[in-house]
Amino acid sequence: MSRSRERGAACSQPLRGTARIVRRMQYFAFVERDANRHYSVTLPDFPGCVTEADSLVGITEAAQHAASAHLAACVTPLGKPMRAEMLPPSFETREGYWMLVDLSPVIAAYPPGVGW
């Protein structure tokens, strides 16, 4: 596993926002599929942030919407993306898998100090 993936944040190429350049920010998401083939997505870096997607393709968009809503209501600062070795052990007993989702567009929408 590369160092950037291990740390949970890949800073490969900067994304250009309207006000500033934002580095690509990837966060871990825990994905579970139910019997109806819908996906439940949990973002541990955003406490209590859970969303759903109808397909694998929709997971990133669903995670971005959920993270945006979380940051809009956030009263505690958001830290750096969680490192792989810090992922919550409570997920070890659940059936699902970890993936990285790009939340750069969400982070770019909030000025420094808001939610992080």
Tokens of 68: 């945006």
pLDDT tens string 43-78: 999 888 999 999 999 999 999 999 999 888 876 667
Q: What are the beta bridge partners of residue 28?
A: 100
> Which CATH number, 3.40.1010.20, 3.30.160.250, 1.10.8.870, 3.90.550.10, labels domain 3-108?
3.30.160.250
Higher pLDDT, 23 or 100: 100
Does the pTM of the predicted model rise above 0.75? no
